[in-house]
Structures are given as C-alpha cells and as structure tokens.
Amino acid sequence: MNVRIGITIAAVGAAALLLSGPVYAAADVANCSKKIDQEGAKIQAGALKAFAGCNDAYRKTQLNKATLAKAAADCQKSLDTKFFGAGKTLDKEFAKTVALAPASCTDSNLSQLGHLPTAQFGNRWAVAVTLDALQAAYDQQIMMTRDWVNLLSVLGGLTPDPATGEFVTPTCALCAKHAAAPCQEHSCTYVQPPPAAQSQALVTINEGQLEIPVPLKGTTALNFCNTGATNLLDGITTLGEYPVFGEAGKQLLPADIPGVGYACVKAIGAEGFLSCKTSGNTRVDYTTCQDHTADTPNATGATASGECTSQTTCLQSATDIGNAGSGISKHPGVVNGGACVTLSPTAGAAGDMFVNNTTQIVVTLSTQVGADGLRCTNDDMPSSPGTPGTTSLTTGSADTQVIDADNVEGSNLVPVSGGVVGSLFPCNTLASSTLSGGQIVGAFPALHAIIVGATAFDSTTTFEISCQ
C-alpha cells in the first residue's frame, strides 16, 4: 500500500506523536484553572518571602550587624511561619488546594489540565502543584543567590561559616531540611535497537490492515521529589513514594516529513509518581478510546455530550474539523463521540511509575527553517503551532481503540500487536539521576491521523520507552 504521511504525521506517525494523545474540545475549566493558578502563586510567593528572610538574616552577619546564632534563629522563624505544620501558611495553602476538587474542579477538569484525577489518585495532583511551586521558588532563589544552599547548610549547623570557620549551634532545623532542593531532575535517554528492550511506537491504520513502526530517539527529563518527614515536605508526601513532575523542554529529535518538512516535540509538563515503598505500592493499567461518531451505540462512559461513568475520565465530544491543515476530511462538521480514559490502579511493586505527560507537536515546512539553519529552534516559522495533548506513561499496561473507526459504524480499530506492558524502575539508582533500566509505555487513539491517497484514516498508537 502506498502510504503518504501528511502534515499531521505529528499526530501519530512520527516520533513526537507517540508522547501526545488526541486533542479534545475543552469543557468549561476556566474557574478550576483560575483557582489552581491562584493557590500555586500564593505557595510560591510564601516560599520566596521565607527564603528572603533567611538570606537577609545571614547577610547581616557578614556586615557585623548580627551573630551567626541570631541569623540561624531568625531564619528558623522565617521558615517556620511559612512552611508546613499546624496553622502555618503553606499548610493552609496546601489544604486550600486539595479542597479545590471537587469544590471548583471535577476530575474531567483536572484531566483536561493535565492533572491526576482524584477518583483514582486522591490528592496527588495537589501535592504535585504544591511541589512544583516550591521548586520554582527554590530555583528562583538560587538564580538570585548562588550560595543559597551553602547559606542554609551553615545556618543549619551542617557546615562551618566560610568567612569565620564558626559552627552555629543547630537552632535552625528547617535550614538543614532546606539545604537540599525539594526535587531533583532525572533523565531517561531512549534505548535504541538492537537491545530487546527498545524505544519505539507502533501505529495501526486501515481497519487493522497496516502497522507502521516508528523508532523513538530522544530524552525525557523528569523531576523526582523528596519524601517523608526528614525534609521540607513534611505532611504532604508519603515516605517511599516520589512525586514526579516535568517542565518545558525539548524531548525528541526532529521527525522528517518527506516532501513537507519536519515535526518537533516540546515537553510542556508532566505529573505523576514513582512508588518505591516497602509495601503498598501502586501500579496503574489503563485503556483509552475515541468514539468517532456521536451516534449510538457509544463506547462505555462516552456519549455524544461527553458524559461519563464513574469508572472513566471522559473528555467532551468535538466537532470534526477533519485532518487539520491538509484539507482532507470525510465529514467536516460532524460531531464526534466522546473520548475516554479508564484508569485502573492496582497493587504494585517497588519501581512502578505513572505519569501524565503533556507535549506540544509543532510542524514546520522545509522552507521555514530559521536563519541559524537548525531545525526545532526558536527562530523557525512553524506552519502548525500545535495544541498540547496529554498521554499517560506507565510501568503497567496500556491499550487503546477507536470506536466506529473512519466513521464506519461497528468498525472498531485496535492495535495489530495488541497492548503494551512496561517494566519496573530500579529504585536504588535514583541517586544517580538516571532512570536506567526501567520502561514506560502508553497508548492513544487519533482521528484522521494518517493520509493514504486522498483519505485521512483513524489510527491507534502504542509506544514503549526504555531508559538506558
């Protein structure tokens, strides 16, 4: 079969697509998003104010206006009024963040914003929001004060003052806790063949008659946060379970689109957790589907109006715009059925991980590369800016299907090779800032994804990422 992969290859046919699921119409999430933004800003501002108090107290000792012991006591007070504990500022803000669901945010709202839904994951989404804000404050303080970590170590009685050689009597316990950043970045560089565990995706189209293998080349960077009662995260994290979040960055190598140009993938954000507890770990299996038509029967949990059952996270139906940018569509203007993700947390083992990963796929024509001559840099002029989409990564299992594929009633499209299963990450390698040895997998459906001749076919994609 002569397959022509068009501009929307980034949806499912090139490297980037495999980390970004289908784009859905957004429900009314404005109020939810606003409330989360407000709480995150308050947490970050409170942390920065506390940090400023410590910095000022220490600098006074360098101007001979105070003793080191007084600086330590003042820093302890500054941190103590802001950080966690009964009646403390950040404790209150964390509680307010948790309370946003369900007061202002439904699980579907949270999912559309890239957060973990509460039905399956409790308040883990609020933990991630809080930690992200704290890490942002910590990073900002380091940008302004390069010796910030040393300052805290001195005031915490861990190291001597470099100016005097004096050890302060340990009166600032919170200084010692803050001497390590809340979270540290780890990287997963994708394993390539010939190892049995490799990084690739499999795209199925044409009623399951064609499977397209796509190699994945690149790196995913994630922040793993400290846990337990021996650091500044007292009261919001569970000993042995590492909250995970990601930030903006480049993720995969540019993907060539023959005759068109290239696709770039940008990491937008991530949220999840790695279980490394002695017991009670969590594994997450999931399935996801897109119902192509709004006509009955619909997939379980998905209706023409986007309504959900309690077992699924469903996103709204959307008006069909066809194959974006190509002008090829079977039925523009038709309302597609709802999309569903069914998450199934079960008992797991140490090393199980689950992360919602949000990426943006940008397509650029060959003639639009920037003046530097390099692909996927900021001076390129993209022809398709792309809309961020969220796909789950798990060490459990992932599967997907398109209901009424290609707008044909009763024609359900499933992966030729079936679903995929990940493998555990070795918890004892976290200290090396590498995720070597683990494998995360995912799956998603997409409408009008691959162009064959003059037809845009629906597709299913499964992918596996092995970290070297």
The DSSP annotation for 298-312 comes to --TT--TT----TT-
- Rounded to whole angstroms, the Cα distance separating 138 from 47 reads 8
Sign of CA dihedral 276, 102, 271, 184: negative
In contact, 276 and 351? CB cutoff 8 Å: yes
pLDDT the model gives residue 305: 44
The arithmetic mean of pLDDT across residues 159-172, rounded, is 86
Which residues fall within 8 angstroms of residue 281, CB to CB, at 6 or more apart? 241, 275, 347, 348, 349, 350, 351, 352
Q: What is the pTM of this model?
A: 0.85
Task: Please tell me the total number of residues recorded for the chain in this structure.
Answer: 468
Within a 10 A sphere around the Cβ of 124, how many other Cβ atoms?
23
% of the chain at pLDDT higher than 90: 33
At residue 136, does pLDDT exceed 90?
yes
pLDDT at 33: 94
Angle, helix 148-155 to helix 30-62, in steps of 10 degrees: 70
Residue 3 has pLDDT above 50, yes or no: no
What is the rounded average pLDDT for all residues in the chain? 80
Closest CA to 340 of 292, 304, 308, 310: 308
- What is the C-alpha separation between 296 and 299, in angstroms, rounded? 9
Contact 185, 242 (CB under 8 A): no
Poorest-confidence range of 85-89, 327-331, 412-416, 420-424?
327-331
- Reported as a pLDDT band with limits 50, 70 and 90, residue 13 is very low
Q: Residue 117: count other Cβ atoms within 10 Å of its Cβ.
A: 22
Higher pLDDT, 148 or 380: 148
- Could you tell me if 185 and 442 are in contact, meaning their C-beta atoms sit under 8 angstroms apart? no
Q: Which pLDDT score is estimated for 315?
A: 59
The alpha carbon of residue 319 and the mean position of all alpha carbons in its chain are separated, in whole angstroms, by: 27
Which pLDDT band, with edges at 50, 70 and 90, does 4 fall under?
Answer: very low
Point out the least confidently predicted range of 41-45, 60-64, 349-353, 395-399: 60-64
Selection from 34, 113, 183 nearest residue 356 by Cα: 113
Question: What is the pLDDT confidence band of residue 274, given thresholds at 50, 70 and 90?
Answer: very high
Residue pair 459/446 in contact by the 8 Å Cβ criterion: yes
Residues 403 and 290: their CA atoms lie apart, in Å, by: 6
Among residues 192, 33, 163, 55, which one has the least CA distance to residue 109? 33
Answer whether residue 306 shows pLDDT above 50.
no
